[in-house]
Amino acid sequence: MKTHLYLSLIPESLVASMLPPEEFGAYYATGTQQLSRGQAIFFEVSPEIRSDYFPMDEIDKRCVPHPDGRPRKSTYIGVYRVLEHVPREFLGKLYLVTADGKVLGLDPGETPQSKKAGLHLYQELCPLRPRVVTTLEPHAFGRKLTDRRQPVSVERIAYCDLRLDELAEDPENGKADDLPYANIAHLRDCLKLVRDHPDKQIKTVIRTLPEDFFYRTVLNGFYVADASGLTSYPMPALERLERDHYEWWRSVVASLC
């Protein structure tokens, strides 16, 4: 059986598994007995990766079939500072899994950049988890957070941009009826602060990954940034989700995730 390597963002971990991505995603989100449920986000990691940080020589010893021949579903290889020690060039497809185990795979690609100067909302996923507003577009945001000359920075970070709709241009009066975020008034205040104070480029809205992280609020896509650059994972347009990934999108809409 082929052994796969996965980098999970929720929680951060490096996992070896004999399950292909779709099966692993369903298992990871729902468990064997489907008694536990929770979203999962993970990358497939190239088998070409070599590392002195992770015990790579243990994978073939520990990720073996069960005595009755069943595939080994998960073997944890690392649970600390994982993203930091997996170079971007070894990251493959990104998989988004709903709470009931429906899986959407995203390929790396070019994410459209906004042509308008406006405000942005980002959900940091790993290793940081705050939700923040900023005047920085996705590429500049990634560069700033991974600039090791800054007083506070990280080696590598995964994040996504979220919808602001009319609030991106007009925090005071823009409509927010379709935004499912808690405490919209606080979000408006944070947006006004970074808009009106150029020296305050980033403002934390929520200090951790909130329960109201909904796939349907992702704007353009997901990003992995470090000092050497950025990898983008564009989110398909709504029309394509409805046409080509109907089961996944139906699960998203049904559960409002």
Assess if residue 253 is contained within a domain. no
Does one domain contain both 48 and 129?
Answer: no
Please check the confidence at residue 115 and state whether its pLDDT lies above 60. Answer: no
What HEC string does 193-225 produce?
HHHHCCCCCEEEEECCCCCCCCHHHEEEEEEEE
Does one domain contain both 78 and 17?
Answer: yes
Question: In the prediction, which pLDDT does 98 show?
Answer: 94
Distance of CA 114 to the CA centre of its chain: 20
**Tens digit of pLDDT for each residue in 195-252?**
999 999 999 999 988 765 789 999 999 999 999 999 999 999 999 999 999 999 999 9
pLDDT over 90, % of the chain: 83
Question: In the prediction, which pLDDT does 51 show?
Answer: 93
Question: In the prediction, which pLDDT does 34 show?
Answer: 46
Assess if residue 186 is contained within a domain. yes
Is residue 8 within 8 Å of 54, Cβ to Cβ? no
Assess if residue 248 is contained within a domain. no
Assess if residue 112 is contained within a domain. no
CA distances from 186 to 53, 133, 192, 204 (A): 41, 11, 10, 11
**Tens digit of pLDDT for each residue in 174-195?**
999 999 998 999 999 999 999 9
Assess if residue 249 is contained within a domain. no
Does one domain contain both 228 and 136?
Answer: yes
Domain endpoint, select from 106, 133, 163: 106
Q: Residue 246: in which H helix or E strand, if any? A: helix 246-255
Question: Can you read off the two tokens belonging to residue 253?
Answer: 């809409």
Residue with structure tokens 């292909």?
Answer: 20
Assess if residue 247 is contained within a domain. no
Domain containing 142 equals 120-235
What count of other Cβ atoms lies within 10 Å of the Cβ of residue 122?
24
Q: What is the pTM of this model?
A: 0.93
12-21, 138-147, 204-213: which range is least confident on average? 204-213
Assess if residue 158 is contained within a domain. yes
Question: In the prediction, which pLDDT does 209 show?
Answer: 83
Question: In the prediction, which pLDDT does 118 show?
Answer: 87
Please check the confidence at residue 117 and state whether its pLDDT lies above 70. Answer: no
Name the domain count of the chain.
Answer: 2
Does one domain contain both 90 and 127?
Answer: no
Domain endpoint, select from 76, 106, 136: 106
Q: What is the mean pLDDT of the chain?
A: 92
Q: What is the mean pLDDT of residues 107-131?
A: 86
Question: In the prediction, which pLDDT does 74 show?
Answer: 96
Q: Bridge partners of 128?
A: none
Assess if residue 111 is contained within a domain. no
Question: In the prediction, which pLDDT does 35 show?
Answer: 42
Distance of CA 155 to the CA centre of its chain: 16
Please check the confidence at residue 257 and state whether its pLDDT lies above 70. Answer: no
Does one domain contain both 38 and 124?
Answer: no
Is residue 24 within 8 Å of 92, Cβ to Cβ? no
Does one domain contain both 101 and 124?
Answer: no
Residue type, 13: S
Does one domain contain both 129 and 83?
Answer: no
Q: pLDDT-based confidence at 113, cuts 50/70/90? A: low
Question: In the prediction, which pLDDT does 110 show?
Answer: 84
Which of 161, 141, 171, 179 is closest to 219 using CA atoms? 161
Question: Can you read off the two tokens belonging to residue 31?
Answer: 């468990």
pLDDT over 70, % of the chain: 94
Domain endpoint, select from 106, 138, 166: 106
